[in-house]
Structure 1
Amino acid sequence: MRIVMFGYQTWGHRTLRALLDSGHEVVLAVTHPKSEHAYEKIWSDSVADLAEENGVPVLLRNRPDDDELLQRLKEVEPDLIVANNWRTWLPPEIFDLPPHGTLNIHDSLLPTYAGFSPLIWALINGEKEVGVTAHRMDAELDMGDVLLQRAVPVGPSDTATDLFHRTVDLIGPLVTDSLDLIASGRAVWTPQDRSKSSFFHKRSLVDSRIDWTWTAEELERFVRAQSDPYPNAFTYHRGERLRIVSAAVSEGRYGGTPGRIFIREGDGVVIVAGRDARSGKLPGLVVRRVRTENGTELAATDYFRTMGGYLTDRP
């Protein structure tokens, strides 16, 4: 098959690598220019560089809405478009152009976690597994019929970084298996159950801000979901932003006001947490390591020299 690839960052890079190794002909790669967005500067393996190294023509676009791009797509006559981490909607004159349509690779187990940053949101929400879906693109973002899915379990100490590495390794085999099914005429497309759909927005730095009315269990996952190199979960202490690098759920139960810097426990410092913390029936969040605005990382027991005071969601 003649294939055009739309994609960006490491997800797109892994997809293009699989296409190049598949024996099919990659006739064009379309990717985004480099971005300064915090979440787009990480996992930033270049689709453009990989394509050029392998003699594949490259087009750079922020949006796929110009006549030149459409004309170029018609000229190369693809049998299939494969997309992964293309950051804007593709119009029907593009996704329906090839005879086999467009195969989109999305890093969640659709129909849940359509949209952006699914691994982070899934870990925040305590999902037991995450994965990757190959589906047919249609007019609704990440809602087309599913061809294949692959899943991996989420462990009790996994970070978003761990899950990224585990799921990105699924892309190559998923793409290869999908191409084999499509090329052989054995593809079976299964409609998504729309009653189970969920769609998540693109993350920004404000989404990493800690709300101390969340339970300690929720906040512990929140910290793991924003592991390096992602922007870390943060709070404010004495007017300065403080990043929480490592945390755990306390063994003891602590009562009072959410956000209170309370007491040492083990190798960390307990912060009172939970909307019902006043009951004294909830564990707190044991903060183990923090990072200051100037990038200095410290054990929480070294940073919080005295107990008392509050961590807040505003300076």
Structure 2
Amino acid sequence: MSRAVVFAYHNVGVRCLKALIGRGVDVALVVTHQDNPNENIWFQSVAQTARDYGIPAITPDNPNAPDVVEQVKACQADFLFSFYYRHMLKAPLLEAVNRGAYNMHGSLLPKYRGRVPINWAVIHGETETGATLHQMNVKPDSGPVVDQMAVPILPDDSADEVFAKVTVAAEMVLWRSLPGLIAGAAPHVQQDLSQGAYFGGRKPEDGRIDARAGAAQLHNFVRALTLPFPGAFADTRAGRLLLWKTLQAGRTTPAAAAELYLEAGRLWLRAADGGRLAVLQAELAGQALGAENFAALAGGDALPLSL
């Protein structure tokens, strides 16, 4: 029986941990995170999954600390797996197992290496993304690819909807790759890093809307950041605007900057390029915003977004 140490968090962590167990891998130790009380914890718990299966679990602040490395070495594991674990794992950890360390990444590597790849893919209007199992080395998301699976990004998919697809793809990729990995027969294909780029993490303040952007760009931005993420926002004369759901809806006259307006009993966003979005869910100054209260909250017939 193969033995593994698993570093994991989030839904991908839960599903991939269960895939290992389902394939008969002996998971000797799970390393996960303490939930942050300031974060919207909308996803499943790896720590609870480990408890359910009677697997020892730890939540170190620094996974690369010498005592953690020694715990991993003591497991005498064949493999180390990382499934949406948020900290970088350094060389001593990657070398603490006998047959290699592997990571599940939420993109079609070498595209969208780095942080929050699904959100970045939606922001950039991609029509597909996926899950990639690759061998880990010290440079993040650059090791040889074992397997990957694509999923579609539909024009109105939110990042959360795409994440659900990628979670299933990750489980399937791991499930079908494990027999080859255990047998020592899995492919390891070197990445051409020139075919992709590295992206950094995102903070809530990165959700500020560019009022000069075109309608397609605005729509992609909104759906990439909508719930359960912090949201796309703009400041206006009536207070802070949060856009949660939009649909592309033809064209109108261009504007100097994006503006909300009311027409035919519906709320619209006119973009600088003349594209138009139907606004299906929004907040203004902390209140739910719709056609019925737009004039009262906005103080007029149109509400420009601040540049």
TM-score (norm 1): 0.90
Question: Displacement, 1:65?
Answer: 2.2
Q: How far off is 1:301 after superposition?
A: 5.4
Which residue of the partner structure matches residue 291 of structure 1? 283
1:212-251 alignment to 2 at 5 Å? 212-238=211-237, 240-251=239-250
- Is the alpha carbon distance of 1:216 and 1:265 closer, same or farther for their aligned partners in structure 2, counting shifts above 3 Å? farther
Cα displacement string for residues 8-31 of structure 1 (whole angstroms, at most 9, x for unaligned residues)? 122211121111211111100011
1:311 aligns with 2:305: yes
Residue of structure 1 in register with 2:179 after alignment: 180
Shift of 1:300: 4.3
Map 1:29-44 to 2 at 5 A.
29-36=30-37, 38=39, 41-44=40-43
TM value normalised by structure 2: 0.92
CA drift of 1:37 comes to 5.1
* 1:269–1:301 CA contact under 8 A, matched in 2: no
Q: Is the 8 A contact 2:268 2:276 kept in 1?
A: no
Which secondary structure does the structure 2 equivalent of 1:312 belong to?
coil
Q: Does the CA contact (< 8 Å) of 1:115 and 1:141 recur in 2?
A: yes
Deviation for aligned residue 1:237: 2.2
Q: Is the 1:265–1:286 Cα contact (8 Å) retained in structure 2?
A: no
1:63 — aligned with what? 62
Q: 1:15 — aligned with what?
A: 16
Partners of 1:285 and 1:226 lie apart in 2 by: 16
For 2:143 and 2:53, locate their aligned partners in 1 and report how far apart those are by CA, in whole Å: 31
Give deviations 1:169-224, integer Å, cap 9, x for gaps: 12222112221111122111011111112111111111211111111111011111
> Structure 2: where are the runs of 5+ without partners?
none
**1:308/1:266 CA distance change after superposition, 3 Å:** closer
Shift of 1:259: 2.7
- What is the one-letter code of the residue matched to 2:221? F
1:265, CA displacement in angstroms? Answer: 6.0
How far the C-alpha of 1:75 sits from its partner, in A, is: 1.1
Q: Which residue of 1 aligns with 2:90?
A: 91
| Partners of 2:123 and 2:217 within 8 A in 1 | yes
Q: Matched residues in 1 for 2:120 and 2:227: separation? A: 16
CA distance in 1 between partners of 2:148 and 2:295 (Å): 46
Structure 1 residues 216 and 149, CA gap change in structure 2 (3 angstroms): same
C-alpha contact (below 8 Å) 1:115/1:201 kept by paired residues? yes
**Cα RMSD for the two superposed structures:** 1.9
- Report if aligned partners of 1:269, 1:300 keep a CA contact under 8 Å in 2: no
Q: Which letter does structure 2 place at the counterpart of 1:230?
A: F
Superposition deviation, residue 55 in structure 1: 1.2
Amino acid aligned to 1:60: T
**Misfit runs of 4+, over 6 Å:** none
Does the alignment pair 1:205 with 2:195? no
AA at the equivalent of 2:86: R
* Structure 2 CA distance for partners of 1:300 and 1:134, relative to 1, 3 Å: farther
Retained in 1: the 8 A contact 2:258–2:269? no
| Structure 2 partner of 1:104 | 103
What letter matches 2:301 in structure 1?
Answer: M
Contact 2:265 2:291 (C-alpha < 8 Å) held by counterparts: no
The separation in 2 between residues aligned to 1:210 and 1:311, in whole angstroms, is 9
The separation in 2 between residues aligned to 1:58 and 1:88, in whole angstroms, is: 16
Moved more, 6-15 or 125-134: 6-15
Cα–Cα, structure 1 residues 193 and 222, in superposed 2: closer, same or farther, change >3 Å? same
Listed as ranges, the gaps of 5+ residues in structure 1 are none
Q: SS of the residue aligned with 1:225?
A: helix
Secondary structure of 1:72's counterpart equals helix
Task: Please name the residue that 2:25 is paired with.
Answer: 24
Determine if contact 2:260/2:267 at 8 Å carries over to the other structure.
no
Q: CA deviation at 1:248?
A: 2.7
- For residues 260 and 74 of structure 1, the distance between their equivalents in structure 2, rounded to whole angstroms, comes to 58
Give, in angstroms, the shift of residue 44 of structure 1: 3.0
